[in-house]
Amino acid sequence: MDNGIIGRKREIALLNELIDSNKVEFVAVYGRRRIGKTFLIDKLYARQYDFYMTGIYEGTRKEQLTNFAHQLELYAGHRVRTPKDWMEAFFALQDYLTTRLSQKRVLIFIDELPWLDTPRSRFLKAFELFWNEWASKHDNIKLIVCGSATTWMTSKLLGNMGGLHNRVTQPIYLRPFNLAETEAFLSSRGFALSRRQVAEAYMSMGGTPYYLDMMRKSQSIAQNIDRLFFGTDAPLRNEYGFLFKSLFKESTLYRKVVECLSRKMKGMTRQEILTEVKCEDNGFFSEVLSDLCNCDFVRRYTSFGKAERDMMYQLTDLYTLFYLRFVKTYNGGDPNYWSHRQMDISSWEGYAFEQVCLHHIPQIRTKLGIMGVLGNVCSLSWTSFTDNAGKEHRGGQIDLIIDRGDKTINLCEMKFTSTTYSISTDYAQRLRDRRESFVSMTSTSKSIHLTMITAEGVEHNEGWQNIQSEVTLSDLFTDADE
């Protein structure tokens, strides 16, 4: 923890290094809504701004400029008339900041920058001129901008091919919390939870700090889920639509792709998604897939031994998975729906746990002792086949394969059970068959290690002798980082 900030150690160190550097800096912090971008900057530098403003969501150009003038008045200490356009606004900001240049550091923070770029406002042209013709020429200027509209930040700012091309000196993408950070966050707010309970909260809300902060320590995990998703005026039931609108312009196709992927747990190819959503195969569709991956909604992976053209896309955002599975179709009949649930949720828990594991690959690699070993992470599914020796192999799927650079492959099985997992005689044979099928399918000469990733560990019975390594839920709570 640093200044009340949970986690974010790498980002804090990087920001402090940039702010204390002896050259001009233009820092762009971006990431999905509610992830803690503004909180991070405010906690580090709130009392040190020489100018601060934030964009207004769906505000008009006039409203944005009025807000700009008000903020400039607060910092300049004198009356400022509302500028007629952004060019005039940035000239006024330049005049004010000129009076501050004798300081060691001039710190400017513009939050929700994309919201200022309203239609036909020519905001970007004025901002470009301000940076290129004035701000960038002063080594003590430190400009930090934030944005939730990730598509705008990546295409209009970081991917700018005009006057702002390569002007950002440091992009910082803020990701959701991992399990360790989630545990620390909830502990700092007085929760006394087991790691399994933390994981249950994580599987419904993901690692979004704002969502986690809505939880009440006086309630159980089930009660919190009821209140946040299924109760009267449940805030996370309405969050889904606004989340996509805030991140992506023309968000309809983004939602269609996500909802399509939610029905195919192992993922889909690009062509399969196109067919399902009835969309043209064009540049915009490529942008949609790229944006969803960049915002941690979707992971892109290649099945073991497959070419890049066979790339798979899989929905991995835990909040979205939970919403689409249980909340979207909820009819509002029972505000204690989750506490009273009658349906079997074991299949969802199993799949959600698989996604939790995919979000914690560095922690798995640390437990296996292979952090310093190069390797690829992939999956593989296959239909039944007959090998060269005439032996029939039934179809199967391996959700996590770690193909290591030391001539070893880990085939990982994931099980989310409430007690220690016991490998039965039948399951032990299934593991051996799967290993044999994998070798026959891939013709690999590498050593094959069977790895169990479980919530509560594996019982050390006769079946346990079939596996080479195991990872538990607690092992995912480390601070491993790659």
In terms of phi and psi (left: phi > 0; alpha: psi -120 to 50; beta: otherwise), the region of 296 is left
Do 244 and 339 sit in the same domain of this protein? yes
For 386-415, what is each residue's pLDDT tens digit? 777 777 777 778 889 999 999 999 999 999
The model's pLDDT over 183-210, given as tens digits with 9 standing for 90+, comes to 999 999 999 999 999 999 999 999 999 9
pLDDT of residue 16: 95
Residues 420, 473 share a domain: yes
Q: Exposed/middle/buried for 335, CB within 10 Å: 0-12, 13-18, 19+?
A: middle
User: How far is Cα 183 from Cα 207, in angstroms, rounded to an integer?
Assistant: 10
What is the percent of the chain with per-residue pLDDT over 90, rounded to a whole number? 76
Residue 472 included in any domain:
yes
- The CATH number of the domain holding residue 210 is 1.10.10
Q: Give the torsion through C-alpha atoms of 361, 364, 369, 374, to 10 deg.
A: -20
Same domain, 349 and 399: no
The 3-class secondary structure across 58-115, one letter per residue, is CCCHHHHHHHHHHHHHHHHCCCCCCCCCHHHHHHHHHHHHHCCCCCCCEEEEEECHHH
Least Cα distance to 70 among 88, 89, 48 occurs for: 89
> What span, in angstroms and rounded, lies between the C-alpha atoms of 353 and 472?
11
Phi then psi for 371, rounded to 5 degrees?
Answer: -60, -35
Alpha-carbon distance of 372 to 365, in angstroms, equals 9
Residues 163 and 217 occupy one common structural domain: no
User: Which residues, at least 6 apart from 378, have a Cβ–Cβ distance to it below 8 Å?
Assistant: 301, 302, 303, 304, 401, 403
> Helices 252-261 and 283-294 meet at what angle, rounded to 10?
70
pLDDT at 150 over 70: yes
Q: What is the CATH number of the domain that holds 123?
A: 3.40.50.300
pLDDT-derived band of residue 482, with 50, 70 and 90 as boundaries?
very low
331 and 378 share a domain?
no
pLDDT band at 2 (very low <50, low <70, confident <90, very high): very low
Count how many domains the chain has: 3
Quick one: average pLDDT of 350-368? 94
Residue 346: its pLDDT value, please?
Answer: 86
Residue 249 maps to a domain? yes
Answer yes or no: do 409 and 455 share one domain.
Answer: yes
Same domain? 191 vs 248: yes
Same domain, residue pair 384 and 281? no
Q: Is 18 within 8 Å of 143 (Cβ atoms)? A: no
Q: Which helix (H) or strand (E) holds 289?
A: helix 283-294
Final residue before a domain boundary, out of 173, 194, 218: 173
Q: Are residues 236 and 347 both part of a single domain?
A: yes
* CATH code where residue 438 lies: 3.40.1350
CA angle 206, 212, 216 (to 5 degrees): 140
Comparing C-alpha atoms, which of 180, 309, 320, 189 is closest to residue 263?
A: 320
Mean pLDDT value of segment 5-15: 94
C-alpha distances out from residue 482 to 201, 207, 250, 278, 371, Å: 25, 18, 34, 38, 8
Q: Considering 173, 194, 217, which residue would you say is the last residue of a domain?
A: 173
Q: Which residue type occupies 156?
A: K
**Tens digit of each residue's pLDDT (9 = 90 or more) over 307-318:** 667 789 999 999
Token output for 215: 């939880």
pLDDT at 53: 97
For the stretch 249-290, pLDDT in tens is: 778 999 999 999 999 888 899 999 999 999 999 989 999 999
Is the per-residue pLDDT at 355 higher than 60?
A: yes
Which domain covers residue 221, as residue numbers? 179-300+309-354
How far apart are the C-alpha atoms of 171 and 153, rounded to whole Å?
10
User: Given a cut of 90, is residue 64 above it in pLDDT?
Assistant: yes
383 Cβ contact list (under 8 Å, min separation 6): 395
State the DSSP code for 424: -
Return the structure tokens found at 313.
Answer: 């896309």
Task: Report the pLDDT value the prediction gives residue 385, as an integer from 0 to 100.
Answer: 66
Do 227 and 189 lie in one domain? The reply is yes
**Residue 50 within any structural domain of the chain:** yes
pLDDT tens-digit profile of 444-456? 999 999 999 999 9
Domain boundary among 113, 143, 173: 173
Q: Is residue 293 part of a domain?
A: yes
137 and 22 assigned to the same domain? yes
- The β-bridge relationship of strands 396-404 and 170-173 is unpaired
CA nearest neighbour of 172 among 371, 35, 291: 35
User: Residue 191 and residue 216: Cα distance in Å, rounded?
Assistant: 8
- pLDDT of 91 above 90: yes
* Stretch 211-228: mean pLDDT: 96
Q: Is the pLDDT at 73 greater than 80, yes or no?
A: yes
Q: Are both 169 and 183 inside the same structural domain?
A: no
Average pLDDT over the chain reads: 92
Residue 482 resides in a domain: no
